[in-house]
Amino acid sequence: MSDPTEALVSAHPEQHDEIALVAKRTYDIGADGVCRPSEEQLPLVFKPENYDEAELPLLSPPCWDFDLLAFKPRTDVVLQGSAYSYGSPSTVVDAEIQMPGLSRTVRVHGDRTLQWNGSGPTFSQPKPFERMPVRYDRAYGGCDVRALGEHDDPIADGVMATEPDFELEPFLGFHYPRNPAGVGFVWVLDEESAQHVRVPNLEFPDDPVTPDRLAIGESARWLNGPLPACFDWSHASWFPRIGYLGLTPEHLTPDTEVSEVARGWAVPDLLTLRSVTNQGWHPGFQQAASPGMVVEDIKAKTSVTIRNLHPDSPEIRIQIAARPPEAEIAVSPLKKLTTKPQLNAVVIRPDDRQVVEVWSARSVAARQYHQVELDKMSWTIRWS
């Protein structure tokens, strides 16, 4: 049996029980920027996937999120690719995406080193590059391995002592909560630690990563650190996404200014949300795009402009298909439900000349259905 591109999901997302048909559609980007259905359709992803295998405490960033988060309030916009200098190597390039409701620029530097002189840390001049991956493992974040080695982590040690086969996630306090897979994050920066710091390639132009911002001083001050700059997926355990479960890592005070809130990328009460065990799932948790890369609606033939992100051209306009499917779900031989389609995610992959859309055709249901019941149901779907 081939990997499926469609699957049923049942849940109680907010006010009603619902059932949804999740369907993935892959398109090729033509030379004219128009998206046409691909001959090879990518299958649904049933658990988050990472780019690489990494040995703890190092982590690899996600390359795809869980497709069956079917009840997203808005549409995730994800761009996976590289920045290009087009034949003449550059030391810095601005990678950009623009579309209705969304504009983002990521400044991409060539590789730099951290140097220490009598007055403190400085960055070397960036090396020229022709292509640079725009991924979270090149943005600010990561793990302070030196601090972990010096201080240990009693929680991690206790888990490993009792469950040695347990696959441990980021060690508390030693990874940057916004991006545990990045580079450059340290508690304290001195001449010795500077020798082991990898300088990030990516930054937001209005929130630059400078030598004096690499160190946060102590773990609870992480909210003062730079925002990781990227267009890719955000992991469920990263801030601010994890904040929607009421599980924000330790920080100084509840009234600490949160950059994501100030920019409108997260809800104002993010730091005071109750735990998921008390409040249930906050709908914002399901949004898996980079903070700030979520839009209300994408209409058919919406134009997306990307700059310095396509291997063939410094600027290209992509016409997103966004043609909603017509779907009907047979919950029993005698009962069929009509659905309302919602675009859950648009993933732009310029290097592969692809756009992937994940749709959720939703309907209010009489109750929640168990997986064994969903497996026996049938559906019809038609793409326009």
Of 136, 129, 142, 132, whose CA–CA distance to 95 is shortest? 132
| Between 260 and 118, the higher pLDDT residue | 260
Check whether 1 has a pLDDT greater than 50.
Answer: no
DSSP state of 7: E
Of 282, 289, 286, whose CA–CA distance to 246 is shortest? 282
Q: What is the mean pLDDT of residues 223-238?
A: 96
| Between 294 and 196, the higher pLDDT residue | 294
Percentage of the residues of the chain whose pLDDT score is greater than 70: 91
pLDDT digits (tens, 9 = 90+) for 367-381: 999 999 999 999 999
Least confident of 147-156, 225-234, 243-252, 370-379: 147-156
Check whether 166 has a pLDDT greater than 50.
Answer: no
Kindly state the tokens that stand for 296: 């209300």
Percentage of the residues of the chain whose pLDDT score is greater than 90: 73
Banded pLDDT at 164 (limits 50, 70, 90): low
SS (H, E, C) 73-94: CCEEEEECEEEECCCCCECEEE
Domain locations along the chain:
1-50+59-80+318-384
Q: Residue 132: which H helix or E strand, with range?
A: strand 131-134
pLDDT digits (tens, 9 = 90+) for 337-356: 999 999 999 999 999 999 99
Strand partners of residue 376: none
Q: How many CB atoms lie within 10 A of CB 96?
A: 18
The C-alpha atoms of residue 371 and residue 68 are separated, in whole angstroms, by 13
Check whether 221 has a pLDDT greater than 50.
Answer: yes
pLDDT digits (tens, 9 = 90+) for 45-95: 999 999 998 888 889 999 999 999 999 999 999 999 999 999 899 999 999
Long-range CB pairs of 38-47 (<8 Å, 24+ gap) are 38/354, 41/5, 42/5, 42/356, 43/2, 43/3, 43/4, 43/5, 44/3, 44/4, 44/5, 44/6, 44/7, 44/68, 46/7
Least confident of 65-69, 297-301, 314-318: 297-301
Q: What is the mean pLDDT of residues 25-51?
A: 96
The C-alpha atoms of residue 169 and residue 161 are separated, in whole angstroms, by 15
| Residue 195 confidence (pLDDT) | 87
| Residue 155 confidence (pLDDT) | 46
| Residue 179 confidence (pLDDT) | 97
| Residue 316 confidence (pLDDT) | 97
Helix (H, G, I), strand (E, B) or coil at 310: coil
CA atoms within 13 A on the CB side of 262: 9
Check whether 5 has a pLDDT greater than 60.
Answer: yes
In the chain, the amino acid numbered 248 is T
| Between 274 and 91, the higher pLDDT residue | 91
